Chain A
Amino acid sequence: MELQCPMPKFDFDVITLGHGSGGILTHQLLNSGVFALLANPLLDEKHDGAVFEANGKIAFSADSYVVSPIFFPGGNIGELAINGTVNDLAMCGAAAKYLSLSFIIEEGLPMTDFWKILNSIQQAASDANVHIVTGDTKVVEKGKGDGIFINTSGIGFLHPEASIHVSNIKKGDKIIISGNIASHGVAIMSLRQGLEFESDIISDTANLNHTVIALLDKFGQQIHFLRDPTRGGVATVLNEIAKDSNTGVNILQNKLPVDEGVSSACEILGLDPLYVANEGIFIAIVAVDVADDFVTALKQLPFGANATTIGEITDQHPKQVILKSSIGGSRVVSMLPGEQLPRIC
């Protein structure tokens, strides 16, 4: 059973334009709903912004969430919005601490849906040990949004040993992936109109900060680079790495971890899992000397059970990603010109 705070009694069943007006409805919504659920000393100040002490290096990141449908197998837009920004900060080597949370809601969103999303936000924030300290709510007319859009930005404190930068990537480094690929994108796709299919596939949405910080504690500067392969999937991130670091990337097709159901769905839908979105895994480029220990350690950490080495950095073919196919052929893995489109037959 899903744990959820009972919804307080509101005078309204759906969000209306008035909830974004700043007037009584806005206050009703915030005071009896949002503030109560997400309470913490900084948010409770109800100031125009949050004021706090910060020492040392901080990382700052922002992201918007427009996923459709807003509820999907394994999660909803709320936890996605928290985990996404927490993970972006983790990829910088920072432990997320404070988040802003802004809603753009299409009028007509049922309060029960909004409450469910808020609960997921609260749960995800608590799991990631972050506080939502400021935010905003706007409502747009029916037809001008897609239920709800969420924007979060976050501040995190950099791990003292973190030195994560493309310029650290060098020949011989190993490329490690923390878990199975393509689950999120396929879970979303399974609900899209016209593509509906029954499956047990769920989104991999998860916070990666605790795992990444534990790895930084252990491996510090031997971790040369981190990135989470969200939009565009693993192929896109590897291309970014190759181009930005001016190195070549070699990967092995038969090392790519894909859940069997996801792999079957991709076959049927005509999609390449390398380009499908993920929300709970990361790619790490680490020094060759520690690569095996890194994988062993990662396997013991949350969301790391399927971690594996998928390839290495080379000085051959700079700026290009080359995949060795399972049968021994090789090919370039390029960036897609746009969205991956299903084929005719």
Chain B
Amino acid sequence: MKYLEEYRDAGVAEQYLAEIKKIVTKKWTIMEICGGQTHSLVKNGLLTLLPENIQMVHGPGCPVCVTPLNLIDKAVYLAEEKKVILCSFGDMIRVPGSKQSLLEAKANGADVRILYSPLEAVKIAEQNPDKEVVFFAVGFETTAPANALSVLHAQRAGITNYSILTSHVLVPPAMEAIISDEDNVVQGFLAAGHVCAIMGLEEYYPLVEKYTLPMVVTGFEPVDLLQGILMLVKQLENGVAKLENQYARVVPENGNPSARKIIADVFEVSNREWRGIGEISLSGYELRKEFAAYDANKKFNVQIEAATESKECIAGDILRGIKKPHQCPQFGKKCNPLHPLGAPMVSSEGACAAYFHFSQAEYAEA
């Protein structure tokens, strides 16, 4: 496939690996922010190819993983008790709530549908005027424009039986929470390419400056990741801290201005609870007051008691890069993709699931 195969080229990957090995002299701990990057690192076997001095730790950029338990319970409640047509992205539906997942609710008769786009949900609302349709609007800055657009579309078309259950989270505040944590081990970031494709780079310069921490905005293919790691290691070895853009073919300096405008028109920044991490101030989006009619939380006035997380799940440490999945005592034992204790074992972007699916051999032998 054009524009994809080039970034999976074995020869180019080998060159980058050789160069990384040549310049690395010290141990470095690097965090890739996005779950898509984690998935690609493990899926392509990159972790088995990198020199030992480079320690990759896996960041919080898995939307499924950081969506609070309480919100999943709300989605299940809306589907089961309020009999709404609950539409969701695929990997959200297997995540366990405190009692059940959306997949289990579906098996029990709730109308839960997997969609690729919230605009499909608006269409479903239009086709089912006697039913309420709720889209489970999770994700980072990447999915926010489409979710915002769905609200605008519904509003323009005069559709009143559509709303979204929002749990949008933002990357830069989470990065700051990780860096400023006293347990932080991360020395450099591979920033999430697709988030920057929407938002641009401006939010990242102050972080680099304030914490003197190098960052490279990086893509998702093997060659992207290796190039991103090489750029970061160069900075680290030379004692430099700046923001670089490896993914320039997709990420312009200003991001996508139309997408940003739609986000700004529909959402406002708010405090947000991150599953496994806790509340981070000004780290999420919620619908602006003028769109309250499309806010499922307000529309259905859902009051669900906050449930407690499994004490055995160390998702918080995993998502902040303090521990790796196989260092969890329950990894592959009590916790596996069939019986996940926490969300990172569910989503294919979750670090625990990625380790379980793709690198079991290595860790089973260790």
Closest residue of B by beta carbon distance from A194: B115
Closest residue of A by beta carbon distance from B192: A345
Closest residue of B by beta carbon distance from A196: B120
A345 touches B142 (CB 8 A): yes
Residue B21 CB within 8 A of the other chain: no
Residue B89 CB within 8 A of the other chain: yes
Residue of B45, B89, B359 touching A344 (CB-CB under 8 A): B89
A194 touches B45 (CB 8 A): no
A341 touches B93 (CB 8 A): yes
A194 touches B120 (CB 8 A): yes
A267 touches B361 (CB 8 A): no
B1 touches A264 (CB 8 A): yes
Residue A18 CB within 8 A of the other chain: no
Residue B344 CB within 8 A of the other chain: no
A342 touches B356 (CB 8 A): no
Residue B153 CB within 8 A of the other chain: no
Residue A320 CB within 8 A of the other chain: yes
Residue B82 CB within 8 A of the other chain: no
Chain A residues near B358 (CB, 8 Å)?
Answer: 331-332, 334
Residue of A193, A263, A326, A342 touching B90 (CB-CB under 8 A): A342
Chain B residues near A320 (CB, 8 Å)?
Answer: 360-361
A327 touches B90 (CB 8 A): no
B45 touches A325 (CB 8 A): yes
Secondary structure at the A interface, as helix, strand, loop or mixed, is loop
Residue B94 CB within 8 A of the other chain: yes
Residue-wise, chain A 279-308 has the 8 Å CB interface mask toward B (1 for contact) of 000000000000000000000000000000
Closest residue of B by beta carbon distance from A323: B45
Chain A residues near B142 (CB, 8 Å)?
Answer: 345
Chain A residues near B93 (CB, 8 Å)?
Answer: 341
Interface residues of B in 1-35 (CB under 8 A from A): 1, 4, 8-10, 13-14
Residue of B1, B43, B338, B356 touching A263 (CB-CB under 8 A): B1
B143 touches A345 (CB 8 A): yes
Residue B222 CB within 8 A of the other chain: yes
Chain A residues near B94 (CB, 8 Å)?
Answer: 338, 341
What CA separation (Å) do A331 and B349 show in the bound complex? 16
Considering residues B117, B338, B348, which has the most beta carbons from chain A within 10 angstroms of its beta carbon? Answer: B348
A317 touches B361 (CB 8 A): yes
Task: Using known A-B contacts A269-B116, A345-B36, determine if residue A329 contacts B44 with beta carbons closer than 8 Å.
Answer: yes
Interface residues of B in 147-200 (CB under 8 A from A): 194
A334 touches B222 (CB 8 A): no
What CA separation (Å) do A329 and B361 show in the bound complex? 13
Residue B304 CB within 8 A of the other chain: no
Residue B138 CB within 8 A of the other chain: yes
Residue A22 CB within 8 A of the other chain: no
Residue-wise, chain B 203-223 has the 8 Å CB interface mask toward A (1 for contact) of 000000000000000000011
Closest residue of A by beta carbon distance from B339: A337
Within the complex, what minimum Cβ distance (angstroms) separates A188 from chain B? 14
A334 touches B356 (CB 8 A): yes
B interface residue count range (under 10 / 10 to 19 / 20 to 34 / 35 or more): 35 or more
B44 touches A195 (CB 8 A): no
Residue of A194, A264, A332 touching B357 (CB-CB under 8 A): A332
Chain A residues near B91 (CB, 8 Å)?
Answer: 341-344
Within the complex, what minimum Cβ distance (angstroms) separates A132 from chain B? 34
Residue-wise, chain B 47-64 has the 8 Å CB interface mask toward A (1 for contact) of 111000000000000011
What CA separation (Å) do A328 and B49 show in the bound complex? 8
Closest residue of A by beta carbon distance from B222: A327
What CA separation (Å) do A75 and B218 show in the bound complex? 42
Closest residue of A by beta carbon distance from B92: A344
B348 touches A327 (CB 8 A): no
What CA separation (Å) do A195 and B120 show in the bound complex? 9
Residue A167 CB within 8 A of the other chain: no
Residue A330 CB within 8 A of the other chain: yes
Chain A residues near B90 (CB, 8 Å)?
Answer: 270, 341-344
B45 touches A342 (CB 8 A): no
B143 touches A332 (CB 8 A): no
Closest residue of A by beta carbon distance from B348: A343
B347 touches A334 (CB 8 A): no
Residue A322 CB within 8 A of the other chain: yes
Chain B residues near A317 (CB, 8 Å)?
Answer: 361
Within the complex, what minimum Cβ distance (angstroms) separates A194 from chain B? 4
Task: Using known A-B contacts A341-B90, A345-B63, A345-B140, determine if residue A330 contacts B360 with beta carbons closer than 8 Å.
Answer: no
Task: Using known A-B contacts A341-B91, A341-B94, determine if residue A267 contacts B4 with beta carbons closer than 8 Å.
Answer: yes
Within the complex, what minimum Cβ distance (angstroms) separates A326 from chain B? 5
What CA separation (Å) do A269 and B348 show in the bound complex? 13
What CA separation (Å) do A252 and B45 show in the bound complex? 12
A342 touches B89 (CB 8 A): yes
Residue B113 CB within 8 A of the other chain: yes
Task: Using known A-B contacts A328-B14, A328-B45, A334-B357, determine if residue A341 contacts B114 with beta carbons closer than 8 Å.
Answer: yes
Chain A residues near B139 (CB, 8 Å)?
Answer: 344-345
Residue A48 CB within 8 A of the other chain: no
Residue A260 CB within 8 A of the other chain: yes
Residue B337 CB within 8 A of the other chain: yes
Chain B residues near A341 (CB, 8 Å)?
Answer: 90-91, 93-94, 114, 348
Residue B250 CB within 8 A of the other chain: no
Closest residue of A by beta carbon distance from B49: A329
B115 touches A332 (CB 8 A): no
Chain A residues near B356 (CB, 8 Å)?
Answer: 334
Residue of A193, A267, A324 touching B1 (CB-CB under 8 A): A267
A330 touches B48 (CB 8 A): yes
B10 touches A331 (CB 8 A): no
Contacts A/B (CB < 8 Å), 13 sampled: A193-B120, A194-B113, A194-B114, A194-B124, A263-B1, A317-B361, A325-B45, A327-B223, A332-B360, A334-B358, A337-B337, A343-B347, A345-B36
Given contacts A320-B360, A344-B92, 4 further A-B contacts (CB under 8 A): A195-B115, A260-B1, A336-B337, A343-B348
Give 8 nearest A-B pairs by CB, closest first: A329-B45, A342-B90, A341-B90, A194-B115, A337-B337, A327-B13, A331-B358, A344-B89
